[in-house]
Structures are given as structure tokens and as C-alpha cells.
Amino acid sequence: MRKLPQTSLRLSMLAMTMIGAAALGATPAAAGPGVTFLPHQALYDLSLMKTRNNASVSTVRGRILYNFSGNACEGYTSDFRQVSEIESGEGKNTLSDLRSSSWEDAAGKSYRFKIDTKMNDSDSSDVDGVAERTGDKITVKLKQPVQKTFTLDGKTVFPTEQIERIIAAAREGKSLLELQVYDGSDGGEKVYNTLTVIGQAILGDRTVANPDPSTSDAAMKSLTRWPVTVSYYDRSAKSDTGEQTPVYAMSFELYENGVSRSLVLDYNDFVLAGAMGKFDVKATKPCK
């Protein structure tokens, strides 16, 4: 069975992105022109949608718990945990437990991360490091799994900036966005090429087939959202045909205030649905 990739972190950073304050009467912290983020906690329930390539997966159960705090002056902190139990047709179960904590400067100049991954009863796999943007390059210093220093292309963005750029592109009516993204996953040394496809805007008054806490809020009903699909490609992989298959992809509906709903997480061999079960807003700490 294919191991759940550590890069499901990207699913948290994007799909569980920040809940807008306008919907709940709080004062948002600005992350950039026209983009706001609100401290909150969100819970998503995972289930199996379908399998491909004769994958031996019969059932998947899991949850994603995401905590976000901070402001544009102090930066943004994200704490994330994804627990997934996969049952195969052979009666074998695989339990995946992924935890991460990260901090990102609001200007996208600095990014700190710690990631802990555990499969069944095996020892955990740790990643710990910091990335600093200076001039036209990014310097990454890893503490775990090995001590190592290396540089990245300065065009690479961190998770919160990626979210910000997707929202900005959607507002401008763009349908495609290509970005290089670094989040510290997969041993802390991998950068992904991403392709984001943005669909036609969905007006807030449209009827929702499967309501959730975001669609049931009165203030959210006035907001526009967009269907978004983000595909992640291994930059180091080569293809004989010139076309690459994504390592994984994710789809969701993204509100103009940053709320994401109706998640679909595609790991190639199997596809998971992520339904938002609840979200709670934390106290907002204004910039001094």
C-alpha cells in the first residue's frame, strides 16, 4: 500500500485555510491587500470516496484538526494533526499520525517548521528546520532528520503566501496559477511545482447540496467562493513523454475570505473526502 505522503501538510495549509472575521464579527488581521486571516480551530472528517489502480483500500477513517493564530505584525502560527486509519481488503490496518507546527512571517521572509510522522507502532520520523529569504534566494537550515544547509530559488513561496496568491488570482478572474512551494515536508528538502486551476465564481446565494458550518452562517451566505484544484508535482521527477502525473492533488471551494469547504484529497491510488464538521474562532490579537 502506498504510504500517505507527508505532503498532506499542504492540504492543511490550503484546504483548512483561515476563516474570515467578517462572518463572525471579529476584527481580522491583514495578511496582504484585501486578504484577511482569523485565528481559529477547524475540524474535518475524512472518508474514502473511491480507489484506482486496483488499490487494496476498502475503508478510510480519519480527522484533521487545524489551529491557526497570529497577526500580520507577529506572523502566523499553524498547528495541525491528521490521523487516518486505512483498512485493506486483506484485513490489514494502517494507522497514520501526522503532526506539524509552523510559523510564517506575514511578509513571506521567514518560515519555521516541525513535523512528526508515525505509521502504526513504528518510531516517529521528525523534520525540524527554518527557511529565511534573503535577496533572490532562500536559505534552509535543517536540524532534523539531519543537520544540513541548502538554498532554494527565491521565487519559491511558503504556505500562507501561496494561499494569499490563490485568493488574489481568483479575485482577478484568473483561471491558472503556477507556483513553486516549500513547506518542509518529505524530509525538509523538497520543493513542489504546483498548478492551481480556478473555476467560475459561485455566488453566495446559490443553494448548497451538502451544508456545513461555513454555509449555515448567515454572514457567509453573502460571500463569493471559487472551485479550486491544486496539483503538486515532484520537481526532481523526469517524464519520457514530457507530461507528469501529480504526486497528489486537492480540490475545494475557497471563499473570498479564506474559508475552504468540500475538500477532495487525491492520492492517485485513492481519493478522500474531507467534510468540515466544526470551526471555532479564537480571540484576535490586534497589531500594536
Which sequence spans correspond to the domains of the chain? 8-281
| Amino acid 21: pLDDT | 26
pTM of the model: 0.83
Cα dist. 174→37, 171, 228 in Å? 22, 8, 11
Give the Cα-Cα-Cα angle 19, 15, 128 (nearest 5 degrees).
100
Return d(Cα 250, Cα 263) in angstroms, integer: 7
Pairing of strands 270-281, 110-119: unpaired
Using DSSP's 3-state secondary structure scheme, residue 73 falls into coil
3-state secondary structure 126-180: EEEEEEEEECCEEEEEEEECCCEEEEEECCCECHHHHHHHHHHHHHCCCCEEEEE
Mean pLDDT over residues 13-35, rounded?
37
Return d(Cα 88, Cα 273) in angstroms, integer: 18
Least trusted range by pLDDT, from 6-10, 130-134, 195-199, 236-240: 6-10
Mean pLDDT (the chain) is 82
- Higher-confidence position of 155 and 40: 155
Return d(Cα 100, Cα 270) in angstroms, integer: 23
Q: Which residues lie closer than 8 Å to 38 by C-beta, 6 or more apart?
A: 18, 19, 20, 21, 24, 26, 28, 29, 68, 258, 281, 282, 284
Return d(Cα 183, Cα 9) in angstroms, integer: 8
Give the Cα-Cα-Cα angle 286, 287, 288 (nearest 5 degrees).
115
Q: What is the pLDDT of residues 73-86, one digit of tens each?
A: 898 889 989 999 99
- Higher-confidence position of 163 and 156: 156
| Amino acid 23: pLDDT | 28
| Amino acid 126: pLDDT | 92
